[in-house]
Structure 1
Amino acid sequence: MKIPSNNNFSVKRLLIVIFVVISVLCIIFFAAISRFNTPLFHAVVINILAPFQSVTSAVSGKISAFGDYVGDVFYVYDENRELKAQNDDLKARAARSAELESENARLRQLLNYKSNAPQFDLLPASVIGRNSSTWSNRIIINRGSDDGVRKNMTVVTPDGLVGSVHEAYGSYAEVELITDPRSAVGAIVQRADSRLAGVVKGTADSSSAINMTNIPQNANIVEGDIIVTSGFGGMYPKGIVIGTVTSLKNDIGGLLQYAVLYPAVDFQKLEDVAVITNYREPVPALPPAAAPSAPAANQGEAK
């Protein structure tokens, strides 16, 4: 008995596969052009194509669902990106609005100070630079000699004394703060029953501390006293608030004492200041005029 070779078996199997594929294609073709309309033929076609249609439908459904999912992902991504951009824009606007409100509040304070101190001609200025160290406390303002600023002019805020112009340039000026150890401000206790005079200076130990020096041991000064400029020496106008006494300490040698002051101005938060370009002595308020007395009754006529 002759055993068929592997080559012959492979050829026969290939021919069978080709025949089945051609048959299926023919059935599909004739069904598509509706050339066979017999019920039996339709049943055969449906039975043959049903598995393929089921698989095709399932695959098509999965592909459609996956496409919808991908579309939703891209839609949500674009929407989130747009919402994030809108949120960033709102945050930026809120920050700008808060900054404008803060600036307006500071400018209103300067305006109120100007109206309450008519003896001063004030030039508003902004702090644009800072040079702080142990031995130097200075700021740079955006007003200079082109604006009428001159050396030694007094610089203030509505809270109190800042310092004086150390050097003026064309469009900016350097201001020496009263916290600088090299500064010296003539000062006086504001309390009417004291009026003790002294000198306020910065300290080398701290960039924000100031002391009132040269105070006798038996001087009339206590914690809580407000210290203002005395006007002595003519550099600083009289009556500008410098700070409040927080404690009294003995000086070296024990013959004198000094007062530690809490500055009226927060030097770490300086943004807007004013330069006193000119000042006049305030005019004291006059007492109200007395009402004229009524003429005496029954006065005789002059003869």
Structure 2
Amino acid sequence: MQTNGPVGKKIWILILVLLSLFCMIFFSAKGKVSIPLTNRVVITLLAPLQSFASGISNKSGSIIKNVNDLMTLHEENKLLKNEVIKLREQNLKDSELAAENKRLRELLNYKQSAKNFQLVTASVIARDSSTWINNVVIDRGSNDGIKKDMPVVTPAGLVGYIIEVYDNYSLVGLITDPRVAVGAMVQRSDSRVAGIVKGDINKKAEIHMENIPRSADVKNGDQIITSGLGGIYPKGIFIGIVESVKNEAGGLLKYAVVKPAVDFQKLEDVAIIVNSRRLPPEQLIKQMQRAADGQQLKREGVPK
């Protein structure tokens, strides 16, 4: 009998359908009607199909189990990722709190040790975005007793002075601003050379000590402090360290490149000197020496 072509395919499909129906009737009746011969013959004929069906069933069960396992792993992975994010956020908060506590402790220690100053602490809340004007905004104003021209410091040294005051905030002119001039002097006892510290318009983070005679005794490593001249800054506040000394072109003067004691890129908390009194010389020397020693340890990488 020819079974090729569309007719042959239809015959095979019909046979498979009939065979499937027979199987369904047989297995549904199995256990209710006993037909030994037929049972044996049918089981023999259908054993391969039953084995195939059983294999598919087992594989389906295995696939379903694997899918469930994958879904479980996905959920666990999602939970773990969320936990990692929470731990990172908590770690950042803890690190920020630790850094803030360290800064506030340093300010408190400075406030207690600077007996000649009455200080009000403040936080930097904004920075001027101009290319060469170096100003910051702090969260203290006239309501806190802040007035124009009050000096601003940190435990490391001089920051600048108050140039504008509002009710709840103030604008601070930094010593790196070329418009801010600070009366300064070399702390070394056998020098005591005086000059003016100003910011460099071409180098935002650099300051210079200017108006120094070429014959004056200023050298690398000298510590520069406020001279007390000019009526704004009390004498003896640490400004920075001389990094190099250069002659001005065509003149009788030279200037010193000074590395500021304060890292203005990391400036977050400051103290405003709202009142000051002159200390006895021996106490003033000790205070300046403590500031200088702190800077020396910082340069050498030794923790205070």
Q: Secondary structure, in 3 states, of the residue corresponding to 2:177?
A: coil
CA gap 1:132/1:264 in 2 versus in 1, 3 angstroms: farther
1:209 aligned partner = 206
Tell me which amino acid in the other structure corresponds to 2:161.
S
Alignment of 1:29-40 (within 5 A): 29-33=28-32, 35-36=33-34, 39-40=36-37
Alignment of 1:150-299 (within 5 A): 150-284=147-281
CA gap 1:263/1:20 in 2 versus in 1, 3 angstroms: closer
Tell me which amino acid in the other structure corresponds to 1:131.
D
CA gap 1:40/1:270 in 2 versus in 1, 3 angstroms: same
- 1:115, 1:175 → 2: CA distance? 23
Are 1:179 and 1:201, in contact at CA under 8 Å, matched by a contact in 2? yes
Are 1:133 and 1:207, in contact at CA under 8 Å, matched by a contact in 2? no
1:104 has 2:101 as partner: yes
CA gap 1:112/1:86 in 2 versus in 1, 3 angstroms: same
Runs of 4+ in 1 over 3 A off after TM superposition: 9-30, 38-42, 132-135, 283-286
1:118 has 2:115 as partner: yes
Are 1:31 and 1:45, in contact at CA under 8 Å, matched by a contact in 2? no
CA gap 1:265/1:51 in 2 versus in 1, 3 angstroms: same
Tell me which amino acid in the other structure corresponds to 1:270.
L
- 1:27, 1:280 → 2: CA distance? 112
Tell me which amino acid in the other structure corresponds to 1:31.
K
1:63 has 2:60 as partner: yes
2:288 aligned partner = none
Are 1:196 and 1:220, in contact at CA under 8 Å, matched by a contact in 2? yes
CA gap 1:227/1:41 in 2 versus in 1, 3 angstroms: same
Note the alpha carbon deviations across 1:41-99, whole angstroms, 9 max, x for none: 54234324423321220110111011011111111111111111111111111111111
Following superposition, the deviation at residue 232 of structure 1 comes to 1.1
CA gap 1:108/1:43 in 2 versus in 1, 3 angstroms: same
Alignment gaps of 5+ in structure 2: 1-7, 284-304
Q: What TM-score do you get using the length of structure 1 for normalisation?
A: 0.83
- 2:189, 2:183 → 1: CA distance? 17
1:301 aligned partner = none
- 2:28, 2:9 → 1: CA distance? 28
Q: What TM-score do you get using the length of structure 2 for normalisation?
A: 0.83
Percent of matched pairs sharing the same residue: 49
Note the alpha carbon deviations across 1:93-122, whole angstroms, 9 max, x for none: 111111111111111111111122111111
Are 1:128 and 1:140, in contact at CA under 8 Å, matched by a contact in 2? yes
- 2:67, 2:159 → 1: CA distance? 64
- 2:195, 2:15 → 1: CA distance? 121
Alignment gaps of 5+ in structure 1: 1-8, 287-303
- 1:258, 1:10 → 2: CA distance? 104
User: Of Structure 1 and Structure 2, which has the larger fraction of its residues in helix?
Assistant: 2
Tell me which amino acid in the other structure corresponds to 2:228.
G
Are 1:198 and 1:215, in contact at CA under 8 Å, matched by a contact in 2? yes
Following superposition, the deviation at residue 258 of structure 1 comes to 1.4
1:76 aligned partner = 73
CA gap 1:161/1:13 in 2 versus in 1, 3 angstroms: closer
2:27 aligned partner = 28
CA gap 1:42/1:108 in 2 versus in 1, 3 angstroms: same
- 1:11, 1:231 → 2: CA distance? 112
1:146 has 2:143 as partner: yes
Following superposition, the deviation at residue 32 of structure 1 comes to 3.5
Aligned residue pairs total: 276
Following superposition, the deviation at residue 193 of structure 1 comes to 1.7
From the CA coordinates, give the structure whose radius of gyration is larger: 1
Following superposition, the deviation at residue 135 of structure 1 comes to 3.5
